[in-house]
Chains A and B, each alone.
Chain A
Amino acid sequence: MKLIKLACLMMAFLLSSYSFADTLMTFSSELNQTRFQSLAKELRCPKCQNQDLADSQAGIAKDLRIQIHEMIEQGKTDQEIVDYMVARYGDFVLYRPKYSAATSILWVGPAAFLIIGLVVFAGVVYRNKKRRAGKAL
């Protein structure tokens, strides 16, 4: 099943002359490092097939990692960093879509399914009870 389209990895390696080596990042605090790791997992590499920034070897992913690192160390909040990325690359880079009228179904859907499911359950059980009562008579 997994015939892999390698475009992303290929790009990364064939063009490795262009990408600056991932400079090893140092963080002023453990919290900053955790923030970096979780942000890199929340954001999608805009050039790749379907990879987050943390996993991608593409040049642009490295640039954006460096950007995130810088912004964290400058004391920017997570929200500011996310807004920065969205302003440049669009909502596409968010792996967790922002809540809006257009994404409401996505966010409310699972809870709605669950509620509908529980109502159906109650309904089936209730009808069964009625039928049982009918049989008992």
Chain B
Amino acid sequence: MIPEIGHFALILALFFSLCLSVVPLIGYWQKNRVLLHTARPLTYLMSFFVLVSFLVLALSFMTDDFSVLYVSQNSNSQLPIWYKFSALWGGHEGSLLLWILILSGWSSAVALKSVSLPKDVGPVVLSVLGMVSLGFLSFMLFTSSPFVRALPDAPLDGRDLNPLLQDIGLIIHPPMLYMGYVGFSVAFAFAIAALITGNLNASWARWTRPWTSLSWAFLTLGITLGSWWAYYELGWGGWWFWDPVENASFMPWLAGTALVHSLAVTEKRGVFKSWTVLLAIFTFSLSLLGTFLVRSGVLTSVHAFAADPTRGIYILMLLVILIGGSLLLYGLRASQVRASATFGVTGREAWLLLNNILLTVLTLTVLLGTLYPLIFDVLGLGRISVGAPYFNTVFSPIALLLIVFMAIGPFSKWHHTKASLLLNAILLPAVLAIVVAGLLSYVYALGMMAWLTLSVALWSALLIAKDWFVKVSAGTKGIIPRARQLPRNYYGMMIAHLGMVVTLIGILLVSTSSHESTVKLSPGESVSFAGYDFHFDGISHLKGPNYLADRGVISVSKNGDFVALLQPEKRFYSTSRQIMTEAGLDAGFTRDLYVSLGEKLSGEAWGIRLYVKAFVRWIWLGGLMMMCGGLLSALDKRYRKTVRGNNA
């Protein structure tokens, strides 16, 4: 009975999303205030029923209701309680419900805040969000309802959650990721509303900015968590694989990064208006494309959901209607927009334009590499693979160039900057960075490319610090009051840019200064590797809640001093009959010790993989900093003030 309530709630949500997509728009065209005013209550009603069905599904998981097919496929009575909850988004149907729940969450948040928007903008924005919900709700109801029953032969126990997903990283990774790329639907809705109403002035950029920064922060966190999870859970010590599914979340991030910057220009200077609209559409389209790639079974990935062509057709239709429709609308409306403001070659506008162009080039590069095998196949040219070696080759130089401009950009002023001033500001730090990086690369024998990269990283960091220092030391007041006066937006940018530098350093050093080796060890034996002594104490057997494990015990010391006790495991999950390796890790600021258990060799000996990963934590530390930067700028006081000011 209870699962049927969930299903019924979904039907009601679908009904309200249908009303939401139609009624306020009719109100807009007929200038009917009553109809316009239905937008907010309809949004709340829709979100409420989505929430109800989510809670019902959660309840089915918590109470081990294996008569629900989806529950029986993704859970098990032995599963610890928190995994029972997160198993909800362990499969296609449930994760889609989470997707929709988050979408309705964003919609409700917009509805709450829409009081301060002009009377006809808010309802149109909500209506566009309603259309997106309508698309996904109908997709779920018609092709992938999670409430389908396995009656009358309900299984006694479930098939268990995929062991790879039984992990804290995977409890929070999908919700954060979805918060991010579903959040871009808000910018998308504002852009479409601007196209519909023809109000393509700078104000839409101001309303959109905090939402976009917030979504961007979530997406950054989601990707960071995903990378961290892959690092310790997949057992190969890699942190980014250029897998199509990773790319599917990375492309909206790149486009979203461009969007965050172009919104700033459009808001402040009223230039690039039509470009920013296109970018908002582009960003959300990439989120949708990612959803399609993961759920349609068109590509092979370790991360893809089980293939199903009917679902594929449905999402593709959805894509064509949503993206195709928006791009068509864009084509029809954007040619009417004319730029009014102007800027100089050295103005901040120009730097940010360059930033946008490079980020777009990067996005298109990833898109090209991800889809090329598909295009190749469709043209009957055979099957090829495009993987990490390709992406590293073509992506890195452009990304490095982008970071160079990231460093210079903040020094420029809106409209126009004196070239000599700019040059003076950046020259000395550049010399300093090149010398220090050169010394470091020489001492640690890093090579030319590393020298270049390190120089860029140090230089950017120096410039960020210098910019802040110049700002706080100007004027008569003391440093601390000046520092407190700087807007959150500024600190957001500063921290995000610093985060980028930290990530860059991490990526560089982990790829140049790490060590890996596979060794054969019997209990009691030691091996010395990369300056550490690894002593294999032996193997113990233990029983987890739903698995049996062999746990290796390896003590690590350096020059006779104890460093860490590593306990890599090999787990056998009895229900799903899968074997998983759990790495033994000792995390550190400058290095990670990473050990994974291979296979049992002759006698008591085991094959063991040892890694010393230099500065790998910096990659995720940088990611967290970028997220904080995004949050800070989303919370800038200015938005609240100006939005209210606008309303008055």
Contacts and interface: CB of A to CB of B under 8 A. Distances in A.
A109 B368 contact: yes
A9 to B, nearest CB: 7
A25 B601 CA distance: 13
Given A3-B165, A117-B358, A91 B390 contact: no
A4 B233 CA distance: 12
B385 interface: yes
Interface residues of A, number: 55
A32 interface: no
Interface in A3-17: 3-6, 8-10, 13-14, 16
Contacts of B148: none
A135 B599 CA distance: 75
Interface stretch (B23-31, B342-350, B637-645): B342-350
Contacts of B361: 110, 113-114, 117
Q: Which of A91, A106, A132 has the most CB of B within 10 A?
A: A106
Contacts of B173: 1-2
Contacts of B95: 1, 3
Contacts of A113: 360-361, 364-365
A96 B342 contact: no
Q: Which of A3, A102, A129 has the most CB of B within 10 A?
A: A3
A13 B578 contact: yes
A113 B395 CA distance: 12
A110 B92 contact: no
B646 to A, nearest CB: 28
A6 B387 contact: no
A121 interface: yes
A49 B162 contact: no
Interface string B341-385: 011110000100110011011001100110010001000011111
Contact of B226 (A2, A25, A48): A2
B264 interface: no
Nearest to B580: A9
Interface string A36-70: 01000110100011111011000000000000000
B421 interface: no
Given A52-B387, A55-B236, A102-B376, A1 B294 contact: yes
Which of the four size classes fits the interface of chain B? 35 or more
A124 B274 CA distance: 13
B394 interface: yes
A97 B243 CA distance: 16
Given A6-B162, A97-B390, A110 B302 contact: no
A106 B368 contact: yes
A49 B518 contact: no
Interface string A115-126: 001101100110
Interface string B387-405: 1111001110010000000
A3 B365 contact: no
Contact of A42 (B303, B365, B389): B389
B595 to A, nearest CB: 16
Nearest to A3: B305
Contacts of A118: 357
Contacts of B243: 50
A55 B384 CA distance: 19
A93 B386 CA distance: 9
B45 interface: no
Given A2-B303, A3-B306, A4-B162, 13 more contacts: A3-B303, A5-B301, A6-B578, A22-B599, A55-B234, A55-B238, A92-B382, A92-B385, A97-B390, A102-B381, A110-B394, A117-B360, A124-B353
24 contacts: A1-B245, A2-B170, A2-B245, A3-B95, A4-B165, A4-B302, A4-B303, A6-B164, A10-B578, A16-B599, A24-B520, A42-B389, A54-B236, A90-B383, A91-B384, A96-B387, A96-B390, A107-B394, A110-B364, A117-B360, A121-B350, A121-B354, A128-B344, A135-B342
